[in-house]
Amino acid sequence: MGTLATYRQVVQEVLTAYYQETAGAMAGVERQLVLDPTRDHYLLMTVGWEQNHRVDGCVLHLDIKDGQIWIQHDGTERGIANDLLERGIPKADIVLAFHAPYKRPFTGFGVGRDQAEPQAA
Amino acid sequence: MGTLATYRQVVQEVLTAYYQETAGAMAGVERQLVLDPTRDHYLLMTVGWEQNHRVDGCVLHLDIKDGQIWIQHDGTERGIANDLLERGIPKADIVLAFHAPYKRPFTGFGVGRDQAEPQAA
Protein backbone atom coordinates (compact mmCIF):
# COMPACT_ATOMS: atom_id res chain seq x y z
CA MET A 1 0.00 0.00 0.00
CA GLY A 2 1.30 3.46 -0.91
CA THR A 3 1.22 6.40 1.45
CA LEU A 4 -1.89 8.54 1.76
CA ALA A 5 0.11 11.56 0.58
CA THR A 6 1.10 9.75 -2.63
CA TYR A 7 -2.47 8.61 -3.31
CA ARG A 8 -3.76 12.15 -2.77
CA GLN A 9 -1.23 13.48 -5.23
CA VAL A 10 -1.94 10.82 -7.87
CA VAL A 11 -5.73 11.29 -7.67
CA GLN A 12 -5.39 15.05 -8.06
CA GLU A 13 -2.92 14.69 -10.94
CA VAL A 14 -5.14 12.23 -12.82
CA LEU A 15 -8.24 14.40 -12.43
CA THR A 16 -6.39 17.57 -13.36
CA ALA A 17 -4.90 15.94 -16.47
CA TYR A 18 -8.32 14.70 -17.59
CA TYR A 19 -9.83 18.12 -16.86
CA GLN A 20 -7.19 19.92 -18.93
CA GLU A 21 -7.61 17.45 -21.78
CA THR A 22 -11.37 17.83 -21.98
CA ALA A 23 -11.95 21.47 -20.95
CA GLY A 24 -13.69 23.42 -23.67
CA ALA A 25 -14.82 20.26 -25.47
CA MET A 26 -18.45 21.40 -25.37
CA ALA A 27 -19.30 25.01 -26.20
CA GLY A 28 -21.33 26.68 -23.47
CA VAL A 29 -20.66 23.95 -20.95
CA GLU A 30 -18.15 24.58 -18.24
CA ARG A 31 -16.01 21.82 -16.73
CA GLN A 32 -15.25 22.21 -13.07
CA LEU A 33 -12.46 20.58 -11.14
CA VAL A 34 -13.43 20.14 -7.49
CA LEU A 35 -10.63 19.02 -5.16
CA ASP A 36 -11.15 18.61 -1.43
CA PRO A 37 -8.05 16.92 0.04
CA THR A 38 -9.29 17.72 3.56
CA ARG A 39 -12.29 15.37 3.17
CA ASP A 40 -10.70 13.27 0.39
CA HIS A 41 -13.39 13.88 -2.23
CA TYR A 42 -12.33 14.64 -5.81
CA LEU A 43 -14.77 15.44 -8.61
CA LEU A 44 -15.07 16.63 -12.15
CA MET A 45 -18.40 18.32 -12.87
CA THR A 46 -20.03 19.75 -16.00
CA VAL A 47 -22.41 22.65 -15.76
CA GLY A 48 -24.02 25.00 -18.26
CA TRP A 49 -26.39 24.98 -21.19
CA GLU A 50 -26.60 23.01 -24.41
CA GLN A 51 -28.97 25.16 -26.44
CA ASN A 52 -31.91 25.46 -24.05
CA HIS A 53 -31.13 22.29 -22.11
CA ARG A 54 -29.57 22.48 -18.70
CA VAL A 55 -26.41 20.41 -18.25
CA ASP A 56 -25.42 19.70 -14.66
CA GLY A 57 -23.69 16.47 -13.93
CA CYS A 58 -20.80 14.59 -12.46
CA VAL A 59 -18.21 13.13 -14.85
CA LEU A 60 -15.83 11.70 -12.28
CA HIS A 61 -16.09 11.11 -8.56
CA LEU A 62 -13.18 9.62 -6.64
CA ASP A 63 -12.70 9.29 -2.89
CA ILE A 64 -9.83 8.07 -0.74
CA LYS A 65 -11.11 5.89 2.08
CA ASP A 66 -9.28 3.48 4.39
CA GLY A 67 -6.12 3.63 2.26
CA GLN A 68 -7.92 2.79 -0.98
CA ILE A 69 -9.01 4.89 -3.95
CA TRP A 70 -12.75 4.51 -4.51
CA ILE A 71 -14.09 5.24 -7.99
CA GLN A 72 -17.66 6.24 -7.09
CA HIS A 73 -18.57 7.32 -10.59
CA ASP A 74 -16.74 7.14 -13.91
CA GLY A 75 -18.28 8.81 -16.94
CA THR A 76 -15.12 8.59 -19.05
CA GLU A 77 -14.76 6.37 -22.07
CA ARG A 78 -11.31 5.02 -21.30
CA GLY A 79 -11.95 4.22 -17.62
CA ILE A 80 -10.08 6.31 -15.09
CA ALA A 81 -8.89 3.12 -13.30
CA ASN A 82 -6.43 2.69 -16.20
CA ASP A 83 -4.88 6.08 -15.46
CA LEU A 84 -4.44 5.08 -11.81
CA LEU A 85 -2.83 1.78 -12.77
CA GLU A 86 -0.45 3.55 -15.16
CA ARG A 87 0.71 5.72 -12.29
CA GLY A 88 1.53 2.69 -10.19
CA ILE A 89 -1.52 2.28 -7.95
CA PRO A 90 -1.94 -1.46 -7.27
CA LYS A 91 -5.26 -3.02 -8.33
CA ALA A 92 -6.02 -4.07 -4.74
CA ASP A 93 -6.05 -0.41 -3.71
CA ILE A 94 -8.61 0.65 -6.34
CA VAL A 95 -12.28 -0.01 -5.54
CA LEU A 96 -14.79 0.10 -8.39
CA ALA A 97 -17.45 1.36 -6.00
CA PHE A 98 -20.15 1.54 -8.69
CA HIS A 99 -20.15 -2.25 -8.63
CA ALA A 100 -22.03 -3.76 -5.67
CA PRO A 101 -19.74 -5.20 -2.98
CA TYR A 102 -20.75 -8.79 -3.78
CA LYS A 103 -19.61 -8.33 -7.38
CA ARG A 104 -16.27 -6.71 -6.57
CA PRO A 105 -14.28 -9.89 -5.89
CA PHE A 106 -14.84 -10.76 -9.57
CA THR A 107 -13.50 -7.43 -10.89
CA GLY A 108 -9.86 -8.17 -10.06
CA PHE A 109 -9.81 -4.81 -8.25
CA GLY A 110 -10.09 -4.03 -4.57
CA VAL A 111 -13.07 -5.04 -2.47
CA GLY A 112 -13.89 -2.44 0.23
CA ARG A 113 -16.78 -2.07 2.59
CA ASP A 114 -19.84 0.09 2.03
CA GLN A 115 -22.21 1.18 4.76
CA ALA A 116 -24.97 -0.81 3.10
CA GLU A 117 -23.83 -4.01 1.54
CA PRO A 118 -26.16 -5.24 -1.16
CA GLN A 119 -26.19 -9.01 -1.37
CA ALA A 120 -26.65 -11.06 -4.50
CA ALA A 121 -30.37 -11.57 -5.06
CA MET B 1 -21.74 43.54 -2.31
CA GLY B 2 -20.07 41.64 0.52
CA THR B 3 -16.46 40.59 0.52
CA LEU B 4 -15.36 37.37 -1.14
CA ALA B 5 -14.09 36.10 2.22
CA THR B 6 -17.53 36.59 3.81
CA TYR B 7 -19.31 34.88 0.92
CA ARG B 8 -16.90 31.94 1.12
CA GLN B 9 -17.59 31.60 4.81
CA VAL B 10 -21.38 31.86 4.46
CA VAL B 11 -21.54 29.28 1.64
CA GLN B 12 -19.45 26.81 3.64
CA GLU B 13 -21.50 27.39 6.79
CA VAL B 14 -24.81 26.91 4.98
CA LEU B 15 -23.67 23.69 3.30
CA THR B 16 -22.12 22.33 6.50
CA ALA B 17 -25.31 23.06 8.48
CA TYR B 18 -27.47 21.32 5.88
CA TYR B 19 -25.03 18.40 5.78
CA GLN B 20 -25.10 17.96 9.54
CA GLU B 21 -28.89 18.21 9.59
CA THR B 22 -29.39 15.53 6.94
CA ALA B 23 -26.44 13.16 7.48
CA GLY B 24 -27.62 9.66 8.26
CA ALA B 25 -31.12 10.37 6.97
CA MET B 26 -30.94 7.40 4.62
CA ALA B 27 -29.48 4.12 5.84
CA GLY B 28 -26.69 2.84 3.64
CA VAL B 29 -26.31 6.12 1.81
CA GLU B 30 -23.42 8.37 2.67
CA ARG B 31 -23.64 12.15 2.46
CA GLN B 32 -20.45 13.87 1.42
CA LEU B 33 -19.54 17.48 1.96
CA VAL B 34 -17.13 18.68 -0.75
CA LEU B 35 -15.60 22.11 -0.19
CA ASP B 36 -13.05 23.60 -2.57
CA PRO B 37 -12.49 27.25 -1.58
CA THR B 38 -9.46 27.40 -3.93
CA ARG B 39 -11.69 26.96 -7.01
CA ASP B 40 -14.88 28.20 -5.31
CA HIS B 41 -16.94 25.05 -5.85
CA TYR B 42 -19.06 23.73 -3.00
CA LEU B 43 -21.11 20.54 -3.17
CA LEU B 44 -23.16 18.09 -1.20
CA MET B 45 -23.19 14.60 -2.71
CA THR B 46 -24.97 11.36 -1.84
CA VAL B 47 -23.36 8.05 -2.61
CA GLY B 48 -24.10 4.46 -1.67
CA TRP B 49 -26.75 1.79 -2.08
CA GLU B 50 -30.48 1.66 -1.49
CA GLN B 51 -31.11 -2.05 -1.45
CA ASN B 52 -29.52 -3.08 -4.76
CA HIS B 53 -29.87 0.31 -6.41
CA ARG B 54 -26.87 2.54 -6.78
CA VAL B 55 -27.31 6.07 -5.41
CA ASP B 56 -24.81 8.59 -6.68
CA GLY B 57 -25.95 12.15 -7.02
CA CYS B 58 -25.55 15.79 -6.29
CA VAL B 59 -27.89 17.38 -3.74
CA LEU B 60 -26.43 20.88 -3.74
CA HIS B 61 -23.95 22.63 -5.99
CA LEU B 62 -22.95 26.22 -5.28
CA ASP B 63 -20.18 28.28 -6.88
CA ILE B 64 -18.82 31.75 -6.23
CA LYS B 65 -18.19 33.59 -9.48
CA ASP B 66 -17.62 37.30 -10.19
CA GLY B 67 -18.66 38.25 -6.65
CA GLN B 68 -21.98 36.38 -6.80
CA ILE B 69 -23.13 33.08 -5.33
CA TRP B 70 -24.40 30.79 -8.10
CA ILE B 71 -26.83 28.05 -7.14
CA GLN B 72 -26.07 25.55 -9.91
CA HIS B 73 -28.25 22.82 -8.47
CA ASP B 74 -30.62 22.70 -5.53
CA GLY B 75 -32.17 19.39 -4.54
CA THR B 76 -33.45 20.61 -1.18
CA GLU B 77 -37.10 21.09 -0.36
CA ARG B 78 -36.78 24.44 1.36
CA GLY B 79 -34.54 26.10 -1.22
CA ILE B 80 -31.01 26.90 -0.15
CA ALA B 81 -31.41 30.50 -1.40
CA ASN B 82 -33.52 31.12 1.71
CA ASP B 83 -30.61 30.09 3.94
CA LEU B 84 -28.35 32.54 2.10
CA LEU B 85 -30.89 35.37 2.45
CA GLU B 86 -31.24 34.64 6.18
CA ARG B 87 -27.51 35.09 6.56
CA GLY B 88 -27.63 38.49 4.92
CA ILE B 89 -26.64 37.81 1.31
CA PRO B 90 -28.51 40.33 -0.89
CA LYS B 91 -30.80 38.89 -3.56
CA ALA B 92 -28.80 40.60 -6.32
CA ASP B 93 -25.74 38.54 -5.35
CA ILE B 94 -27.52 35.18 -5.60
CA VAL B 95 -27.90 33.68 -9.09
CA LEU B 96 -30.42 30.89 -9.60
CA ALA B 97 -28.22 29.40 -12.29
CA PHE B 98 -30.61 26.49 -12.98
CA HIS B 99 -32.90 29.08 -14.58
CA ALA B 100 -31.87 30.14 -18.08
CA PRO B 101 -30.30 33.62 -18.22
CA TYR B 102 -33.29 35.07 -20.10
CA LYS B 103 -35.60 33.99 -17.27
CA ARG B 104 -33.46 35.31 -14.43
CA PRO B 105 -34.58 38.94 -14.53
CA PHE B 106 -38.04 37.67 -13.53
CA THR B 107 -36.80 35.72 -10.48
CA GLY B 108 -36.04 38.79 -8.38
CA PHE B 109 -32.57 37.32 -7.84
CA GLY B 110 -29.28 38.15 -9.53
CA VAL B 111 -28.77 37.83 -13.27
CA GLY B 112 -25.22 36.67 -14.17
CA ARG B 113 -23.63 35.63 -17.39
CA ASP B 114 -23.21 32.06 -18.58
CA GLN B 115 -20.80 30.99 -21.28
CA ALA B 116 -23.75 29.97 -23.42
CA GLU B 117 -26.77 32.18 -23.11
CA PRO B 118 -29.98 30.45 -24.10
CA GLN B 119 -32.46 32.89 -25.60
CA ALA B 120 -36.22 32.70 -25.27
CA ALA B 121 -37.50 30.51 -28.11
Judged by average pLDDT, the poorest of A50-59, B36-45, B109-118 is B109-118
Cβ-Cβ contacts under 8 Å, B73 against chain A:
47, 56
Cβ-Cβ contacts under 8 Å, B66 against chain A:
none
Looking at residue B116, its pLDDT comes to: 62
Q: Distance (Å, rounded) from C-alpha B49 to C-alpha B28? A: 6
Residue B64 has pLDDT above 60, yes or no: yes
pTM above 0.80, yes or no: yes
Give me the residue spans of the domains in chain A: 4-100
In this structure, are residues B84 and B8 in contact, taking their beta carbons and an 8 Å threshold? no
- Residue (of A115, A118, A90) closest to A104 by Cα position: A118
CATH number of A4-100: 3.30.310.110
Looking at residue A52, its pLDDT comes to: 85
Looking at residue A120, its pLDDT comes to: 66
Q: Give me the torsion for CA of A16, A17, A20, A21, rounded to 10°.
A: -150
Residue of higher predicted confidence among B28 and B88: B88
A26 to chain B, closest Cα gap in Å: 10
Q: Distance (Å, rounded) from C-alpha B69 to C-alpha B40? A: 10
The rounded average pLDDT for each run of 10 residues, N- to C-terminus, in chain A (121 residues) is 88 97 82 97 95 91 96 95 97 95 92 73 58
* pLDDT > 70 in chain B, percent: 93
User: Looking at the predicted complex, does its ipTM rise above 0.85?
Assistant: yes
Q: Distance (Å, rounded) from C-alpha B39 to C-alpha B51? A: 35
Q: Name the residue facing B56 among A45, A72, A100 (closest C-beta).
A: A72
Residue B51 has pLDDT above 80, yes or no: yes
